[in-house]
Structure 1
Amino acid sequence: MHHILCGLAANPALSSELVDRLISIADDGIATDLACRGDLSRAQAVALAERIDESAVQLAYTGRLTAADIDPSVWPDAALALLDQGAGRSEWARSLAADPVRERREKLAACPGLPSEVVDTLAADPDVRVVAELASWTTPAVTARLAAHPHAEVRRAVAGNEATPPAVLAALVTGKGLPAVRRCLVCDREKTPFIHDPQWLRLDCDLPPGASCDGSHESTVHDMREAALRNPATPIEAVVGFVDDPSMLLRWALAARQDLPLQACARLASDSAPGVRAELAENPAIGDALIRALADDRDLDVRRRLAQHPRVPLDVLTRLARTAKIGDTLLPRVAASSPTEVEGLATSRDPAARMLVAQRRNLPPEIRDRLADDPDAKVVKALAPHPGLTEAQLSAMVDRHGVRVLAKVATNPDASPALLEELVRHKPTVQKVFREVARHRGATASALLVCLADKQARPVAASHPALPPPVIVELLTDADWRVGEAAAANPSLPPAVMSYLVCQQ
């Protein structure tokens, strides 16, 4: 019965009186669904928070509870939620900075616009995790101060903060001008030298796999450098030397930088690690010569990532479409194509080129209609969800290409109710069709009844408002609890049934 009540809590047609009743009996699960309702009144939100404390956080984030509704001594986590959105009160921050629960101080440290005295308190917190969280989000002046912190974990956090001044980031990478690091999380907890074996599971240890310290705090210092390399505010001059670093992770981070000089790009393009080359392949910093070289890379992921490059030449992209297993994706270069380029792709003799442009959903009508008659099923499959296609065009696609395009035709927003009924009765069947029709706004009751016979489509169909009310009521007792919950959330469930289900509790 609990899943039925959760479904009812999410039902948009549930009356305000029944919402009140559900609030009075809510547990954590029901409260989660109630808190998501868009029609909760302020009084109902307060009542729900009083019933289930944990829902106060969710209600604060959705704006159902405001500062006027929250007592931080009763709902400290909800107060933190408002502070996180910049909607809390400064006196709350002063109080929470001394909260005995470390996780709350850590959460506070990530909040924007904290009073300076609260920042100072958090910067001196006895738990380094709180200080590190502050360092991840705080202002340039504070990061400049925390860059000299004796704990490596704090410096790692400073290195990842994009507000950190460039000169400070450069100093973190090189170590010049900063006092030596004295502690890290590894030597805080273990006798050094120590290496956390990735295969060694200890319930009392939360160090990341591979964490190590021989007195030089090497794993955290490595992580700090990686964070600085990924930080776009770090001057390229301070990090370009890592192009030949023994650490693959540092080279990988460097390959993502969009300010890389061409010489560094060329070096990384021949890196032995496929992940480094794949990261570089998507980087706007690389030019035409490297794009064409990477198009012949032996690694599939490199070629797939290269297809995402915003300036990949269309002839290269067409070649990649044949070999890189791009999937049903509108690629950035195709999305940005000029009208002339769109016309060229659509009239290409190569089906791969036509398939690429068919993924666009804003094609001129004449191009859309031409591609609808394409002889290649992959092109038609890519085009099938395009809005504006007529019922006759969609039907013709099915007649010519059958099961290869069936599921995509079912996703078309303009597919008529009659066509959807034909799709679910098509022989041979395509299972995905049932799921797509079950969620289609134009699905009829008769089409949905067919969808109910499919195990995967059944929970989706049970939530469709076009389903006949007697069928919805019957589905409440389905053996699959997901189906019952979906039926309970169906706005076409008769109000009398909703009332009976709630009031019998």
Structure 2
Amino acid sequence: MLLRLLADEASCAWSELAYSRLLPDPVVDGIVNSPHVSLRESFAENRHAPGDVRARLVHDPEPTVRAAVAVGPQWFRVTVDPLPEWAQRSLLHDRDAQVRSRAEERLPPSRALAELARDADHRRRRAACRAWELLDAEARGLLLADAEASVRGEAAKKASVHDADATDRYLLDTDDEPVVRGIVLTRAALHPATALRLAGSGEVAERAAIAGHPGVALDTARLLAEDPEHAVRLQFASRPDLTEAQRAEVDHHVSVSDRLRPVAWVLDATDPEVLRRCAASGNTLLRRSAACNEHLPQDAVDLLGRDDDLPVRILLCENQPTTDGEVVLDTFRRWVSPLTSRLLDHPNFPRVGLARRFGDSPELRQRQLAVHDPEAPAELLLRLTHEPDVRLRRTFASHPNLPYARVQELLGDEDSRTSIRAAANPNVPPPVMHQLLDSAGVPRLAARLP
């Protein structure tokens, strides 16, 4: 069936097919050997395909395909299997300059990337700085003293975490945007004189970094406690060396709609007591940041599950696999976003029983929750698909517990989106699937495919 979808007549399905699902080996063979560049490009970005499988396209004749392999799957907050090192090395030394550039920019740090530290091209030496942790002391020294200012600046950026002199060199040798410089400064080692200078004359993002930096003396940071910019005051109020009473004295606020970067020192914390204090803080930004920390103790997870700030609970569900299932469900119900469906993948999402709890709810969005219940009763599904609101028919047409006789009826529904969902029902037998493809003009035989 999937091989039929590789035919030219099914090209409208190629992106969905090759990009977003796990595929059996014969279909992968068909895609890799397909004459169609767009199909191969889509597969290069498939997050379900292991790195060694995507690497089959590393020697593709089309540079755009090889570039897509170098970029790889870029799914929001999804970790993907990396390409094997031999494949990364091949892309970094590709004959096409655009492919090499994409590889230098997007491949994860690796020994293959670190090998560029002594390359004749300064752009490749700069790229090697992304593999800073894999470089030996000699290579790091050479990059810090490179003849090219952009290389020195990138090397200094990486070294700045532990070296205050490198931080000064970074500020001197780069023309990064103030926001980027501020992000670097949040984790950089700082000379007292540098911190004082930036507190008095830095851009807003730089002052904010100094205000919240745990390595900056409190007396210096206090110069920013009444800064005219709220972003600066908020970072000062999020310092680790303030009491809750002192935080409350700072003019700051966080609204539900504010999208803020987590506080660096909270993300880096490993001490359970420190994280407990952040989770119990009156400072909303500290609580949001604690929700993202992988070392958060369970009692703090439970505490934040009761937080009155919805973004705290969203971040908790996204980052903490031990979040209580009822918290995940409640957050799923309250959060209106294209990303809400990500919560369905949480290990504690309580699917079983949703039909019983919400199938008769007066609110349509609540009734739709029953679609996620693998044990939803057939009688309920039949009733919901006969309700006049077409959105319910669309929602439940693909549920595997819906009696097949009703699925057959919905295949001919006047609403095309409903019939499409019915065609996706896993109980549709292969002969009917083939008939649907026949009616769409997709040939049964594709002899040109492996």
TM-score higher than 0.5: yes
Aligned equivalent of 1:502: 437
Matching of residue 407 in structure 1 with residue 334 in structure 2: yes
Contact 1:31 1:52 in 2 (8 A): no
Matching of residue 425 in structure 1 with residue 362 in structure 2: yes
Specify the code of the residue in structure 2 equivalent to 1:23: L
CA shift for structure 1 position 40:
0.8
Unaligned runs of 5+ in 1: 1-17, 115-136, 148-152, 173-177, 182-220, 399-403
2-structure distance, mates of 1:258, 1:103: 33
Contact 1:277 1:302 in 2 (8 A): yes
Q: Which residue, out of 185, 207, 211, partners 1:255?
A: 185
2-structure distance, mates of 1:319, 1:389: 35
Matching of residue 231 in structure 1 with residue 229 in structure 2: no
Q: Which residue, out of 123, 130, 142, partners 2:118?
A: 142
1-structure distance, mates of 2:241, 2:56: 52
Aligned equivalent of 1:14: none
Specify the code of the residue in structure 1 equivalent to 2:177: L
Larger gyration radius, structure 1 or structure 2: 1
Aligned equivalent of 1:218: none
1-structure distance, mates of 2:6, 2:21: 12
Aligned equivalent of 1:265: 195
2-structure distance, mates of 1:311, 1:457: 53
Q: Which residue, out of 95, 98, 104, partners 1:103?
A: 98
CA shift for structure 1 position 357:
11
SS in structure 1 at match of 2:165: helix
Specify the code of the residue in structure 2 equivalent to 1:165: A
Matching of residue 240 in structure 1 with residue 168 in structure 2: yes
Q: Which residue, out of 85, 96, 113, partners 2:83?
A: 85
CA shift for structure 1 position 46:
1.6
- TM-score between the two structures when normalised by the length of structure 2: 0.56
Cα 1:435–1:103, aligned 2, differ >3 Å: closer, same or farther? farther
Matching of residue 40 in structure 1 with residue 27 in structure 2: no
The farther-off stretch of 351-360 and 299-308 is 351-360
SS in structure 2 at match of 1:323: coil
2-structure distance, mates of 1:64, 1:485: 32
2-structure distance, mates of 1:93, 1:456: 49
Specify the code of the residue in structure 2 equivalent to 1:503: D
Matching of residue 51 in structure 1 with residue 34 in structure 2: yes
2-structure distance, mates of 1:280, 1:455: 55
CA shift for structure 1 position 277:
2.7
Q: Which residue, out of 307, 324, 327, partners 1:387?
A: 324
Aligned equivalent of 1:197: none
Cα 1:57–1:314, aligned 2, differ >3 Å: closer, same or farther? farther
1-structure distance, mates of 2:42, 2:188: 37
Q: Considering only aligned residues, what root-mean-square deviation do their CA atoms show, in Å?
A: 6.2
2-structure distance, mates of 1:265, 1:451: 67
- TM-score between the two structures when normalised by the length of structure 1: 0.52
SS in structure 2 at match of 1:139: helix
SS in structure 1 at match of 2:154: helix
| Mapping of residues 58-69 of structure 1, within 5 Å | 62-63=49-50
SS in structure 1 at match of 2:177: helix
Cα 1:370–1:471, aligned 2, differ >3 Å: closer, same or farther? same
Specify the code of the residue in structure 2 equivalent to 1:40: P
Contact 2:226 2:251 in 1 (8 A): no
Cα 1:351–1:259, aligned 2, differ >3 Å: closer, same or farther? closer
Aligned equivalent of 2:77: none
Cα 1:267–1:52, aligned 2, differ >3 Å: closer, same or farther? same
Cα 1:382–1:52, aligned 2, differ >3 Å: closer, same or farther? same
Specify the code of the residue in structure 2 equivalent to 1:240: D
Question: Identical aligned pairs, as a percentage?
Answer: 19
Matching of residue 167 in structure 1 with residue 150 in structure 2: no
Contact 1:256 1:283 in 2 (8 A): yes
Cα 1:439–1:271, aligned 2, differ >3 Å: closer, same or farther? farther
2-structure distance, mates of 1:57, 1:451: 41
Cα 1:157–1:491, aligned 2, differ >3 Å: closer, same or farther? same
Could you list the per-position Cα deviations for residues 465-492 of structure 1 after superposition, in whole angstroms to 9, with x for gaps in the alignment? Answer: 4556566566667788766655544435
Contact 1:278 1:305 in 2 (8 A): yes
CA shift for structure 1 position 274:
1.8
Specify the code of the residue in structure 1 equivalent to 2:357: L
SS in structure 1 at match of 2:324: coil
Specify the code of the residue in structure 1 equivalent to 2:349: P
2-structure distance, mates of 1:73, 1:353: 47
CA shift for structure 1 position 379:
8.8
| Mapping of residues 66-215 of structure 1, within 5 Å | 72=59, 81=69, 85-86=83-84, 93=90, 99=95, 101-104=96-99, 106=101, 137-139=113-115, 142-143=118-119, 145-147=120-122, 162=132, 163=135, 165-172=139-146, 178=147
Cα 1:476–1:273, aligned 2, differ >3 Å: closer, same or farther? farther
CA shift for structure 1 position 271:
3.9
Specify the code of the residue in structure 1 equivalent to 2:84: G
2-structure distance, mates of 1:59, 1:481: 28
Specify the code of the residue in structure 2 equivalent to 1:502: L
Contact 1:435 1:460 in 2 (8 A): yes
The farther-off stretch of 433-442 and 161-170 is 433-442
Specify the code of the residue in structure 1 equivalent to 2:154: A
The farther-off stretch of 73-82 and 267-276 is 73-82
SS in structure 1 at match of 2:159: coil
CA shift for structure 1 position 259:
1.8
Cα 1:160–1:333, aligned 2, differ >3 Å: closer, same or farther? closer
The farther-off stretch of 247-256 and 353-362 is 353-362
2-structure distance, mates of 1:440, 1:52: 41
2-structure distance, mates of 1:343, 1:253: 24
Contact 1:355 1:379 in 2 (8 A): no
2-structure distance, mates of 1:56, 1:322: 50
Specify the code of the residue in structure 2 equivalent to 1:258: A
CA shift for structure 1 position 67:
10
SS in structure 2 at match of 1:231: helix
